[in-house]
A = this chain, B = another copy of it.
Amino acid sequence: MAKRKRHKNAGCPVARPLDVIGDCWSMLIIRDAFDGKRRFGEFQKSLGLAKNVLSARLRNLVEHDVLETVPASDGSTYQEYVLTEKGRGLFPVLVALRQWGESFFFEPHERHVLLVDRKRRMPIRRLEIRAQDGRLLGPADTMVTAA
Seen from chain A, the residues whose Cβ lies within 8 Å of a Cβ on chain B are 2-3, 5, 7-8, 11-19, 22-25, 27-28, 31, 34-35, 48-50, 53, 83, 86, 88-106, 111-125, 127, 129-135, 137-147
A129 touching B91 in the complex, CB below 8 Å, given contacts A112-B147, A142-B117: yes
B120 & A132 in contact (Cβ 8 Å cutoff): yes
A95 & B96 in contact (Cβ 8 Å cutoff): yes
Nearest chain B CB to A115 CB, angstrom units: 5
Tell me which residues across on chain B come within 8 A of A93, comparing CB atoms. Answer: 93, 96-97, 100
Q: How far is the CA of A127 from the CA of B91 in the complex (A)?
A: 10
Out of B5, B92, B125, B137, name the residue touching A124 (CB < 8 Å). Answer: B137
A86 touching B99 in the complex, CB below 8 Å, given contacts A115-B142, A132-B124, A145-B116: no
A89 touching B113 in the complex, CB below 8 Å, given contacts A27-B14, A121-B145, A142-B118: no
B111 & A131 in contact (Cβ 8 Å cutoff): no
User: Could you jot down 11 A-B contacts, CB within 8 Å?
Assistant: A12-B31, A14-B98, A15-B24, A16-B101, A22-B22, A83-B139, A88-B139, A89-B103, A93-B97, A93-B100, A117-B131
A17 & B130 in contact (Cβ 8 Å cutoff): no
